């Protein structure tokens, strides 16, 4: 997936319009395909290696706001890019697993082997309930998601699937073409609860953490890593919102400014529509932040050197992929690529050299 010691950096495309609220002077709400296309092409140029498209059918901040559709956008972006991985989030209740597996293999084909899914088990009740789709209780959503992923994983691997469960019955089903590039598209799992952790350990390739402080993530990784699993070791990714500047003081000033315009960090109206059992929101109350999915709570706010060092601290506990939010997006993803990524590489090289055995000169 990536070379040992070299983390992968990625971006959250702004499918909701932006990540820290509309700020008239700096960033307006723009969930257009054109904007995501532009940002992604530049991210690819800048050396980002992955990009996530979250999935919501209606915008959870305000249903009247634009929301970019995940799967159509991902397919189109797959045709326009050539190197970067594209991760599309999916909520199992929205697609039958056979249909979703076919879409996934379609984008795998269009992208030439760069496609991944992020399985997420839903928290925003109105999205389903107002469409007349049952919003099952938390653990039942995961039981459904587990059967769903068993079917999808088999089909995207090119296997002939016979599955008989509580929710799905699939008989003698094979999808062609399977991936022409590898065994199958990668599977990320995003969620924090017990069943989310079991699901990632059993059927995922990457456990996708929300951006909580390093101590919390260390505990989460240790807990997930000891669960039963077969096959290659589970990998760990982290979501985070970055504010990096020359000095810590400048970064903190920006943080205060973004907190003033923020939408996601005031959880009051979101919590009214969220599943109270969603562990993600329980953690969100514990760690106030800007952005979504942990955002600034990961601590990637500070001088360029501080942010690079904190990334290294996450690497040391097992994170190898960082999927990032910025605001304003264009300017800040550029700044991150120019100022922070080279520092992370330097720190990694320095660590590798210091860890290497010292060759004693023959005397």
Ligand X SMILES: Cc1cc2nc3c(=O)[nH]c(=O)nc-3n(C[C@H](O)[C@H](O)[C@H](O)COP(=O)(O)O)c2cc1C
Residues interacting with ligand X, by CB under 6 A? 54-56, 89, 91, 118, 120-124, 190-193, 196, 208, 210, 239, 278-280, 293
Question: Of 97, 106, 93, nearest to 163 (Cα)?
Answer: 97
With the C-alpha atoms ordered 288, 289, 295, 296, is the resulting torsion angle positive or negative?
negative
Rank residues 236 and 304 by Cβ distance to ligand X and give the closer one.
236
Sole residue written with tokens 């915008």: 59
In which element (H, E) is residue 144 found? helix 138-156
Minimum Å distance from CB 115 to ligand X?
16
Minimum Å distance from CB 273 to ligand X?
11
Minimum Å distance from CB 108 to ligand X?
19
Minimum Å distance from CB 344 to ligand X?
20
Rank residues 91 and 245 by Cβ distance to ligand X and give the closer one.
91
Minimum Å distance from CB 171 to ligand X?
30
Provide the strand spans (E) within the chain. Answer: 8-12, 50-53, 85-90, 115-120, 161-164, 169-173, 186-190, 206-209, 235-241, 243-245, 301-303, 319-325
Q: Calculate the CA 261 to chain-centre distance.
A: 24
Rank residues 139 and 266 by Cβ distance to ligand X and give the closer one.
139
Cβ atoms within 10 Å of 113's Cβ, excluding its own? 14
The CA-based diameter of the chain, rounded to the nearest angstrom, is 81
Rounded-to-integer distance, Cα 292 and Cα 211, Å: 9
Cβ atoms within 10 Å of 319's Cβ, excluding its own? 24
Minimum Å distance from CB 282 to ligand X?
8
Rank residues 118 and 348 by Cβ distance to ligand X and give the closer one.
118
Minimum Å distance from CB 18 to ligand X?
15
Minimum Å distance from CB 255 to ligand X?
21
Rank residues 262 and 291 by Cβ distance to ligand X and give the closer one.
291
The half-sphere exposure of 115 on its side-chain side, counting CA atoms within 13 A, is 35
Give the pair of three-digit tokens for residue 163. Answer: 């599955």
Rank residues 303 and 333 by Cβ distance to ligand X and give the closer one.
333
Rank residues 56 and 289 by Cβ distance to ligand X and give the closer one.
56
Rank residues 97 and 291 by Cβ distance to ligand X and give the closer one.
291
Rank residues 53 and 251 by Cβ distance to ligand X and give the closer one.
53
Minimum Å distance from CB 176 to ligand X?
29
Q: Calculate the CA 205 to chain-centre distance.
A: 13
Beta bridge pairs of residue 116: 87, 186
Minimum Å distance from CB 205 to ligand X?
14
Pairing of strands 85-90, 50-53: parallel
204-216 burial: b if 16+ Cβ within 10 Å, else e: bbbbbbbbbebeb
Question: Of 85, 20, 27, nearest to 242 (Cα)?
Answer: 20
Rank residues 118 and 150 by Cβ distance to ligand X and give the closer one.
118
- Name the DSSP class of 296: G
């Amino acid at each position: 997936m990536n070379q040992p010691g070299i983390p992968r950096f990625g971006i959250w495309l702004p499918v909701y319009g932006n990540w820290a609220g509309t700020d008239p002077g700096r960033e307006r709400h723009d969930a257009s395909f054109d904007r995501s296309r532009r940002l992604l092409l530049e991210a690819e140029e800048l050396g980002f290696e992955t990009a996530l498209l979250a999935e919501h059918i209606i915008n959870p901040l305000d249903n009247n706001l634009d929301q970019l559709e995940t799967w159509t956008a991902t397919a189109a972006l797959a045709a326009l890019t050539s190197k970067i991985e594209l991760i599309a989030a999916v909520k199992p209740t929205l697609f039958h697993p056979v249909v979703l597996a076919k879409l996934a293999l379609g984008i795998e084909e269009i992208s030439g082997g760069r496609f991944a899914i992020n399985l997420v088990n839903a928290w925003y009740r109105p999205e389903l309930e107002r469409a007349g789709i049952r919003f099952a209780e938390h653990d039942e959503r995961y039981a459904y998601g587990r059967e769903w992923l068993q079917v999808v994983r088999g089909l995207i691997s090119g296997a002939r699937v016979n599955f008989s469960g509580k929710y799905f019955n699939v008989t003698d089903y094979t999808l062609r073409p399977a991936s022409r590039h590898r065994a199958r598209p990668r599977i990320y799992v995003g969620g924090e609860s017990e069943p989310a952790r079991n699901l990632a350990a059993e059927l995922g390739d990457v456990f996708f953490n929300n951006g909580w402080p390093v101590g919390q993530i260390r505990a989460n990784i240790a807990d997930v890593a000891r669960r039963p699993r077969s096959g290659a070791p589970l990998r760990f990714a982290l979501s985070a919102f970055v504010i990096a500047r020359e000095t810590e003081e400048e970064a903190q000033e920006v943080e205060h400014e973004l907190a003033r315009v923020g939408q996601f960090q005031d959880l009051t109206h979101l919590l009214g529509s969220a599943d109270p059992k969603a562990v993600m929101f329980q953690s969100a109350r514990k760690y106030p932040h800007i952005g979504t999915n942990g955002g600034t709570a990961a601590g990637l706010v500070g001088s360029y050197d501080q942010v690079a060092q904190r990334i290294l601290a996450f690497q040391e506990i097992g994170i190898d992929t960082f999927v990032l939010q910025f605001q304003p997006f264009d300017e800040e993803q550029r700044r991150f690529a120019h100022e922070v990524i080279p520092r992370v590489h330097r720190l990694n090289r320095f660590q590798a050299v210091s860890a290497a055995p010292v060759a004693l000169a023959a005397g």
